[in-house]
Structures are given as C-alpha cells and as structure tokens.
Amino acid sequence: MPRLPLKAAGILSVSLVPASVLTGCGTFDDVPRGTTSLLQVLTPQTTPSEAAEMATDPYSAENRFKGTTLLSNADFGGSPVYLDLYLDGVDDPDPGVRTASIRALGRHGDPEHAPLIIAGLEDENRLVRIEAARALQRVHSSDAVTPLIAAVNIDNESDADVRAAAADALGQYQENRVVQALIGALRDPRLVVNNRVQKSLRTLTGQNFGIERRMWIDWYNETEDVFAAAQPYTYPIFHRKRRPIEYLPLVPAPPNETTSTPVGLDPLIDD
C-alpha cells in the first residue's frame, strides 16, 4: 500500500533512491520492506486508510484537517471515495477543515461541485473565502461569475487576498460584465489586487493599459469585439526554484505544479 509522508505544511513529494542505499547498515535493520527513500525512515508515515480515518475523526478537527490535506495532496486523492470526504468537509464546523476540503475540491473536483465551492465565498472565515476563490480558478462554472464579481468588489469583500484571487478567477470568463467589473476593480487601493486585475484584463482582451482606468474605459467603449485578442486562461500554480539544500541527494525537490486550464473550460474557446 502506498505511504504518505506527513509534514506540518502538508505533503511533499519524496525523491526515490535505490533500495541498496538502505541496506548494509545496522541502523536500518527494522526498515519496512519496500522503503525507497531515507526520508521515509526519518519522517512519520501515514497510509491512505489511516489518512481517511483521520479525515473522518468526529472528535478531532486537527485530525480531520490533516487527513483531508494528506488525501487531497496525493495523486490518488481524486478517487470517488475521497471526493465524498471532501464534499462532507465543506460543511464542517471547523474552518480549517472547510478550507482543506474546498482546496481539495479545487484540485480534484468537477464543475458539478462548483456550487459548494461558490458557497465558500460567503464563509465568515477569510481563509475559507480565499480558498474558495482559488478553487474557482481551477473549476469552471458560469454560475461562479456573479459571485466572483461580487468578491472582487471592495464594497462587498473586505479581504484583499480574496479580492485578488477572485480577480484572477474571472480571467477565464469572456463576458462583457466581467471586463466591466475588472475595470471597476482597478480603483482598489491594494497592489496585489491591481496586479491580478491587470493580469485578467490582459488575458481577456490582449491589451495592456496598466492601472489607467480611463484608458481601459475608453478602449472598451470604442471596441466592438473586446475579446478578439483574448489569450488562453491558465490558473496560477505553486512553483519556486530549488533551495541549495534541495540539490543534495535524498532531499526532495519542491512540490512544483504544472499549469493547466480549469476543468470544464475549453482551452481555446469559452463556453
């Protein structure tokens, strides 16, 4: 059975090394058969079944959070049995579990799960709202447009990180009301929001007028087809360069992701 390395910050991929590295040393006499990395010896291990038990622990929100995170970060985390756990978790009384469950749906869910993710934009906890907006960057649904437009508006959403994530998610929807909302959001005082708004406007229109709202408004009013030069939308991913220590043997590389288009979105033509 595959094993999942449990770490405080979540799942990190483990570099594989020859099994012979683990033999010939008395220190590792009790290493389980099939171990392929020194880190598997030094790091506490959790099996998928154990992670599932943690994710459904009725007495510990911490266990539910850890179990959900372990499963959702695994390659097999999109299996139907685990999806059911995430679906249950979005209604968990603990905000950490709700956050992890919505993140899992963003990674493994389909457009049919969008309503549950969208509901997270109204959560009282800012971290849940942030994760909902980020999940909607990866799950395409026309039902998300109106809630995302509301979330990018500073009059409706007080948290800048939520507004920024919502602005990015809107970049996949080629609709006039989306462009209008993004142009309006350029008045946001936070740079992180301005940057995401500009990125989405460039994706949708192929134009780059910076944060000059008047230039955007004039161009929009004078242009018949504002999406004529639109570019394909891809969602943001985690990616960073290796740290010096990560070039050493047995030390895993950073868990970088591969960019793609949201599930449910035609990569060339919006529906």
Q: How confident is the model at residue 140 (pLDDT cuts 50, 70, 90)?
A: very high
Q: What is the DSSP string of 139-163?
A: B--GGGHHHHHHHH-TTT---HHHH
Distance between CA 39 and CA 99 in Å, rounded? 28
> Which range among 10-14, 92-96, 164-168, 197-201 shows the weakest confidence by mean pLDDT?
10-14
Q: How confident is the model at residue 176 (pLDDT cuts 50, 70, 90)?
A: very high
Say which residues have a Cβ less than 8 Å from residue 75's Cβ, sequence separation at least 6. none
- The pLDDT value recorded for residue 238 is 78
Q: How confident is the model at residue 106 (pLDDT cuts 50, 70, 90)?
A: very high
- The separation between CA 140 and the C-alpha centre of its own chain, rounded to angstroms, equals 13
Q: How confident is the model at residue 122 (pLDDT cuts 50, 70, 90)?
A: very high
Distance between CA 260 and CA 35 in Å, rounded? 32
108 pLDDT more than 70: yes
- The pLDDT value recorded for residue 258 is 80
The chain-wide mean pLDDT, for the chain, equals 85
**Residue 151 burial (C-beta neighbours within 10 Å; 0-12, 13-18, 19+):** buried
- The pLDDT value recorded for residue 24 is 38
- For the record, the structure tokens of 99 come out as 């956050």
- The pLDDT value recorded for residue 44 is 60
- The pLDDT value recorded for residue 239 is 78
Distance between CA 80 and CA 108 in Å, rounded? 10
pTM of the predicted structure, to 2 decimals = 0.80
User: By percentage, how much of the chain surpasses pLDDT 70?
Assistant: 82
Distance between CA 267 and CA 163 in Å, rounded? 24
6 pLDDT more than 50: no
Give per-residue pLDDT as tens, 19-63: 333 333 444 444 444 444 444 444 567 888 999 999 999 999 999
195 pLDDT more than 90: yes
Q: Which residue has the higher pLDDT, 73 or 253?
A: 73
Q: How confident is the model at residue 245 (pLDDT cuts 50, 70, 90)?
A: confident
DSSP state of 77: T
Q: How confident is the model at residue 236 (pLDDT cuts 50, 70, 90)?
A: confident
- The pLDDT value recorded for residue 248 is 82
- The pLDDT value recorded for residue 75 is 85
Mean pLDDT for 119-132 is 98
Q: How confident is the model at residue 161 (pLDDT cuts 50, 70, 90)?
A: very high
10 pLDDT more than 50: no
